[in-house]
Structure 1
Amino acid sequence: MLSRTADSLFWLGRYSERAGNVARGLAATLRMALLANPLSAAEEEWRSLMIATGCDPAFRTRHAVLTQDAAIQWLTLDPGNPASVAACVEAARRNARTVRTALTVDMWEAINDTWIEFRRLDSSAIRGDRLPGFLDWVKSRTLLFNGAAADTMLRDDAWSFLHLGTILERADNTARLLDVRHAAFAPEAAADAANYAQWQAVLRSVSALRAFQHVYHARLDPKQVAELLILRPELPRSLLACYSRVEQTLDAIASTSGGARGECHRLAGALHAKLRYGRIDGLLADGLHEFLTGVIDQNIALGHEIGSFYLNGRQP
């Protein structure tokens, strides 16, 4: 496969997944902001989301004050924010058009129809009571594209690079969402209403609240929430599940490429091994923030190495 084709498929997966992740994070933060008291707590919720999505530095250069309306606009429709939903949809469709012949009809229609419908939206779509419906629509469109890919795409190199981008983006999102709320998972954190809401918000951000109930059959507990999102292989958005699939996908690509391997294969294997043999008590004792920032840094390095070994070296 040509590196430019692999590159476009990889970033198609990343941008499509990123749009859905931003929508999930927005929905959870909107709920938390409505519950927050006093007003400064609501502002902190929006700041946490900005940090989790990597949008905080750019937002600060454009806005002197963080308000809910400004944050929502920046994360949804602002074309000046490369991580906004609008920018992600545009980038996903641009990459899909580049490799249209590598996609199935269902995949192309899912991403192209989303782009067409998105271009018809105006700022009223994110105002007031219409915002939750807009966020649900974005999530559903991401799920539609992922479902079309899972159900109709040949399991060849094209699938591998698309899937690799999706899973790498998903892992990064899970790590960042947990990290911005790491204080609520510290051993000394109180089991009060405020922290309970934080644990619930993290689970909602990755659509895992019901999964927690199925796995643990208990009230929310910070150690169990962290364990579910980091070390439980049955949760598709856990770090262990994501890096297991990253390693498998890179191995599959290597096997069809003459067996050539690079630093990206070593990094993926090291990340998977760390999580596979990790224990939540040890992670929490050593410091959840330190562990998660390490994972985020390693994920960035892994993305760079995949880019330099297989792709055009393009960065997000």
Structure 2
Amino acid sequence: MLSRTADHLLWMTRYTERAENTARVLEANYQLLLLPHSDQYAELGWRAVLSIFELNGPYAARHDGINSRNVIDFMSRDTTNPSSIRSCVRAARENARAVRGSTNSELWETLNMTWLDCERMLADGILDREPLAFFEWVKSRSHLSRGVQCGTLVRDDAFYFMLLGASIERADNTARILDVKLEMIEQCADTPVEHFDYYHLTAVLGCVSGLEAYRRVYRDVVTPQRVAALLILYRDWPRSMASSLSEMEEVMAHLTKGRRDSYAARLAAQLSVELKRGDIVAILGGGLHKYLRSFVARVNELASHIGREFLLPGAPGMRQTQARSEPPERTAGSHLNRKAPLSKCVPSA
């Protein structure tokens, strides 16, 4: 497969997954703020949303204050924000259009219709009337495209590059959501409201559709340690970091076809094994925030090596956002202009 084609396929699914994750975070925070809260708490919640995507700086450049209307508009509709839902849906569609011959008509029509319906719904003012309905629609369209992909495509290199893009994005976002949301809980630890942490923790699980999975696995009260264990280490749940890395390891083994000269494949296997052998007590003992920062940095390192070995440099208009930067200081917008290094072609099957 040509590296240009692989590049489009990987970023097509990364953008689709990113749009879904953005909708999940906005939906969870919006629902949480339907409970009684202070203005200070509401601002803290929306600031956390921007922090997850490293967009505090770009947001501040366009808006004077943080409130639900401005943040939802910026993260959903604003075309100057390359990580907005609208920008991601458009980028997924453009990447799909560039490689129509490597997928099939059903997948192209799904992504194209998603873009057309997204434009229509936003123009009709759905964010002002029913933002939760819009977020649910974004999730359902992402699920539909994934279902078409898994249910109709041949299991060739094209299919596996699509899986790779989705798993990279999911691992990165799950770590960021857990990191920022738990940090927010710590900042609100002095609240007098009874069971306040419970609502925060269920919001974290809501961001990744994990509440029912949590109840199935633990059948007990929601605690920070168990939430962290589910999102980090539980391999049988597809949105966990461990599951995403396990899928990456399998996909890389397929794409390299047993070659031993792929550093990206070795790094994916190493990260997967570390999570497989991980212990939540040891992770929390060493500092969860430190662990998650390191994980995000290593996932971005893996994405960079995949770019070197398989993909092409960024193409304007197709790749509006690159792999996000590691978040030690959560530098606002620092991930937006990174360029992938020059790659080589992937041998065809």
TM-score when normalising by structure 1: 0.94
> Counterpart of 1:127 in 2: which secondary structure?
helix
Contact (CA 8 Å) 1:34, 1:42: kept in 2 or not?
A: no
Question: Distance in 1 between the 2:289 and 2:149 partners?
Answer: 34
Q: Cα deviations across residues 83-124 of structure 1 (Å, max 9, x unaligned)?
A: 000000000000000000111222111101111112223161
Aligned to 1:67: 67
Equivalent position of 1:50 in the other structure: 50
- Residue pair 1:185, 1:222 contacting (<8 A) in 2 also: no
Residues 57 and 281 from structure 1, CA distance in 2 versus in 1: closer, same or farther, beyond 3 angstroms? same
Task: Tell me the percent identity.
Answer: 37
Q: Relative to structure 1, is the Cα distance of residues 19 and 155 closer, same or farther in structure 2, using a 3 angstrom cutoff? A: same
Structure 2 distance, partners of 1:300, 1:65, is 31
1:86 is matched with which residue?
86
1:80-229 equivalences under 5 Å are: 80-121=80-121, 122=123, 124-128=125-129, 130-183=130-183, 193-229=195-231
SS in 1 for 2:33: helix
Structure 2's unaligned 5+ residue stretches are 315-321, 324-349
Report the alpha carbon displacement of residue 192 of structure 1 after superposing the two structures with TM: 5.0
Aligned-partner Cα distance in 1 for 2:276–2:124: 45
Corresponding residue of 1:15: 15
Structure 1 stretch displaced more, 217-226 or 54-63: 54-63
Q: What is the RMSD computed on CA atoms of the aligned residues? A: 1.7
Q: Is the 8 A contact 1:9 1:99 kept in 2?
A: yes
The one-letter code matched in structure 1 to 2:128 is R
Q: Kindly state the Cα deviation for residue 297 of structure 1 after the two structures are TM-superposed.
A: 0.7
Distance 2:285 2:260 in 1: 39
Residues in 1 aligned to 2:40 and 2:310: alpha-carbon distance in whole angstroms = 46
Residue 61 (structure 1) shift: 2.0
* Code of the aligned partner of 2:298: Q
- The DSSP-based 3-state class of the residue aligned with 2:64 is coil
- The amino acid of 1:224's aligned partner reads R
Q: 1:185, 1:226 within 8 Å by CA — same for their partners in 2?
A: no
Aligned amino acid, residue 211 of structure 1: A
Contact kept, 8 Å, 1:6 with 1:158, in 2: the verdict is yes
Does the 8 Å contact 2:42/2:67 carry over to 1?
Answer: no
Aligned residues: 311
Aligned partner of 2:319 in structure 1 is none
Q: CA deviation at 1:298?
A: 0.8
Q: How far has the Cα of 1:64 moved from its partner?
A: 2.4
Question: 1:274 offset after TM fit, Å?
Answer: 1.5
Cα offsets for 1:16-35 (capped at 9, x unmatched): 00111111111001012222
Q: Distance in 1 between matches of 2:92 and 2:151?
A: 19
Q: Is the 8 A contact 2:44 2:184 kept in 1?
A: no
> Residues 197-237 of structure 1, C-alpha deviation per residue, up to 9 Å, x if partnerless?
11101100001111111111112121111111110111101
Separation in structure 2 between the aligned mates of residue 54 and residue 184 of structure 1, nearest angstrom: 15
Q: 1:265 to 1:70 in 2, by over 3 A?
A: same
- What residue identity is the alignment partner of 2:239? R
The more displaced of 32-41 and 177-186 is: 177-186
2-side partners of 1:108 and 1:118: how far apart?
15
Match of 1:124, as an amino acid?
G
TM-score with structure 2 setting the length: 0.86
3-state SS of the aligned residue for 1:37? coil
Cα deviation for residue 7 of structure 1 reads: 0.1
CA distance in 2: counterparts of 1:261 and 1:75, whole angstroms: 40
In the superposition, relative to structure 1, how do residues 68 and 55 fare at CA in structure 2: closer, same or farther (>3 Å)? same
> Structure 1, unaligned stretches of length 5 or more?
none
Measured at CA, do residues 192 and 167 of structure 1 come closer, stay the same or move farther in structure 2, by a change above 3 Å? farther
**Shift, 1:195, TM fit:** 1.3
Letter in 1 for 2:214: F
1:259 Cα deviation after fit:
2.1
- Deviation, 1:271, is 1.2
Q: Residues 100, 228 of structure 1: CA spacing in aligned structure 2 closer, same or farther, 3 A cutoff? A: same
Distance 2:55 2:308 in 1: 25
Flag the 1:167–1:295 CA change in 2: closer, same or farther, 3 A.
Answer: same
Question: 1:184 deviation in Å?
Answer: 6.6
Distance in 1 of aligned mates of 2:91 and 2:183: 34
